[in-house]
Amino acid sequence: MKLTTERRKKMPKSQFGLPKEKGTAGRGSYPMPDKAHARNAKARASQQYNKGNLTKAEKDQIDRKADRKLGEEKGEGRKGTKKEERKEKMKK
């Protein structure tokens, strides 16, 4: 769904991957009103981390919020990464 400026302005801070810090402009970065935006936020955060524009802590914060939105922490949705799957196989 398209996120309009008006709708973004009405979103609570809790729906942003990086909520606005005191003294900065705007509502926040990486809005996640739905699952599609959460997936996009994870992808954009990875890109920005790889470019050196985000810290590891900021990327992890965005990923955790996106994962909650996507239901991954409850075992729903996508399985772990290939690396995590290999680790699980090796444990068995």
Over residues 58-87, the pLDDT tens digits come to 999 999 999 999 996 555 544 556 666 666
Q: Is residue 29 within a helix (H) or strand (E), and if so which, with residue range?
A: strand 28-31
- Helix axis angle for 56-70 and 35-51, nearest 10°, is 160
Residue 38 in contact with residue 70, Cβ under 8 Å? yes
Q: What is the pLDDT of residues 8-23, one digit of tens each?
A: 888 888 888 888 776 5
Say what the pLDDT of residue 84 is. Answer: 65
pLDDT at 77: 47
How far apart CA 84 and CA 70 sit, in angstroms, is 18
The ranges assigned to domains in the chain are 5-91
- pLDDT tens digits for 19-62? 877 656 566 889 999 999 999 999 999 999 999 999 999 999 99
